[in-house]
Amino acid sequence: MSRSMSAAGAAVVLAGLITAAAPASATAAPAAHAAAALTGTPTAASAAPACVPDVVRLPALPSGPWTSGVVNGLGADGLAVGESRGLPAYWTADHAVHAVPLPAGFQNGRVAAVNAKGLMVGTVERSTDRARAAFSYRPGDTAVRLLTGAATGTDAADVNDAGRVVGMDAGTPKEWANGTVVRELPVPEDAHPSTRIVAVDGINKRGDVLGTAHTEYEDLENDRIVSKTFPVVWPAGGGYPPYSLPVWNETDWTTGTQASGIDDKGRVVGFEAESYRDLRRRTPAVWKKPYDAPPAAPGLVTGYETLTFEAISPTTNVTVGAAATFVEGYARYVQAAYWPGTGAPLVLPNPAGAGADVNTEARAVSDDDRVGGSFRDLTVLADNPIIWTCASKQAYAPKK
C-alpha cells in the first residue's frame, strides 16, 4: 500500500497548506526491468537491487492541461504513481512515464496510490464543472474502472494489498472491494451531531481506515463557537465503532488537525495546522493505539518553523512530509522531510543541478527505502515528480 496527499475536503479548516521543499545534491539511479513493475513478477535484476542513494527526476508526459507533476505513491518493483502535466500517470522501474487512459468526458486527474500487486486508484475530473469520479486501474489495461459517478466531493484516497479501496463518493466516505461498495464509514458515536467526515486518508494492510472529521457548533453555555477537526480510525471489517482520536486543540476555529497516514500496526501520523491571517503554523503529530491520549509531537526540523507529516511507510516506521518557513503567509522555504520514527526529523537533498531557489516535498514512502514527491524550481514555478532512493542514507540534519 502507498498513499498520497488527501483531505481535499478539509480545506475549509486547513486552508493555506502549501507544498514542500529545498537544498542539496544527487547522482544517478539504478534501472530495473520495466516488465517486473507491469507483471508483478521480479526479474533477476529487480529481485535484489543494490541500494544506490540518488535523487531521480522523473520524466513528464509529452503533453497535458497543466505543468504539474508529483509522485503520490510507491509500489513493488520500482513502480511509482502520481500525476504528470495534470494527468494520471505512473512510472516503471526504468523510470519511463506512462499515461493512465482518461474516461470519456474527463480532462485531468491523478493516481493517488498503488498496492503491492500493482492495483492503482485515483481520481479524474471534468474541467467544465469540476465534478470528479474515483477509479481503479492496473498497468496495461486499456481503460480505467470507474468506482463512482461524477460528482463534487469525490476522491479515491488509498488501496491496500487486499484490493480494498477507500475514498469519498459525493461527500460520503466509502470502502470498495472488487468495484463494489462494501461499507459506508460512519461518524464516531461519541462525536457531536454536527460532525461530518471531510476526507478519507488511508487504509492499512489489516483494513483499518483513516479519515478526518470536522465539527462546528455554537456552545451557548460558554458563549462561543466550537470548531474541531480531528482524525478518525475505522477498525477493519466494521465490527467495532470508529475511534475519535484526541487532538491538542478542540475549540479554536483557526486550528485543525489533519490525518495523513496509517501504518500496518495502526500508528497514525498527521499534523495540526493553525491558519490566521499571515500566521501559518504546522506541528507534526503521531498517535498510537488504543488512541486514548493526545498525539506525540516529534519536534521540528532544525532551522524550519513548521513541519507536516504527509505519509508513513507500511512497516518500517518512517514518516515523510515537508519542513517549511512561512514569509507573509506563504511557504517560501520548503524542504522534503524524513523522520525515521525516533529522534529529530531530518531533511532530504535537492536533485543535482537544481539550483538554489528550489522547493521539495515528500508525499510517499515505501518499505524499500524510497521516498516520492516533487520539486519546484521557483524561477519557473513548475512542479516535477521526483524519487529519492536509499532515502535513509541521504537524510541529514540541516546546520543551524
Average pLDDT over residues 314-332: 88
- Give the residue among 32, 36, 100, 89 at the shortest CA–CA distance from 58: 89
Residue 332 banded pLDDT, cuts 50, 70, 90: confident
The residue with cell 486518508 is 201
pLDDT digits (tens, 9 = 90+) for 244-288: 999 998 888 899 999 999 999 999 999 999 988 878 899 999 999
C-beta separation of 6 from 155 below 8 A: yes
Distance of alpha carbon 138 from the chain centroid = 20
pLDDT digits (tens, 9 = 90+) for 136-160: 999 989 999 999 999 999 999 999 9
- The radius of gyration of the chain's CA atoms, rounded to the nearest angstrom, is 20
Three-state SS at 12: helix
Round to whole Å and give the CA distance between 200 and 209. 8
pLDDT of 272 reads 97
What does 255-284 look like in DSSP terms, one character per residue? EEEEEEEE-TT--EEEEEEEEETTEEEEEE
pLDDT of 331 reads 67
Decide if pLDDT at 36 tops 80.
Answer: no
| 3-state SS, one letter per residue, for 155-211 | EEEEECCCCCEEEEECCEEEEEECCEEEEECCCCCCCCCCCEEEEEEEECCCCCEEE
- Give the residue among 350, 366, 245, 382 at the shortest CA–CA distance from 21: 350
User: pLDDT > 90: what percent of the chain?
Assistant: 74
Residue 28 or 346, more confident: 346
Helix, strand, coil abundance in the chain, percent, nearest 5: 5, 45, 50
Round to whole Å and give the CA distance between 282 and 257. 9
Decide if pLDDT at 40 tops 80.
Answer: no
Indicate if the alpha-carbon torsion angle 28, 32, 37, 42 is positive or negative: negative
In 223-375, which residue ranges form alpha helices assigned H by DSSP? Answer: none
How many CA atoms are closer than 13 Å to the CA of 172, on its beta-carbon side?
A: 11
Decide if pLDDT at 385 tops 70.
Answer: yes
Q: Which amino acid is at 3?
A: R
Determine phi and psi for 372, rounding to 5 degrees.
Answer: -115, 155
For the chain, give the mean pLDDT: 87
The residue with cell 501520523 is 269
- Give the residue among 131, 39, 23, 124 at the shortest CA–CA distance from 79: 39
pLDDT digits (tens, 9 = 90+) for 207-226: 999 999 999 998 888 888 88
pLDDT of 21 reads 33
Average pLDDT over residues 75-94: 97
pLDDT of 1 reads 57
Peptide bond just before 231 cis, omega within 30 deg = no
Decide if pLDDT at 110 tops 80.
Answer: yes
Q: What's this model's pTM, rounded to 2 decimal places?
A: 0.87
pLDDT digits (tens, 9 = 90+) for 226-244: 899 999 999 999 889 999 9
Three-state SS at 47: helix
pLDDT of 368 reads 96
Residue 53 banded pLDDT, cuts 50, 70, 90: very high
Residue 399 banded pLDDT, cuts 50, 70, 90: confident
Average pLDDT over residues 296-320: 97
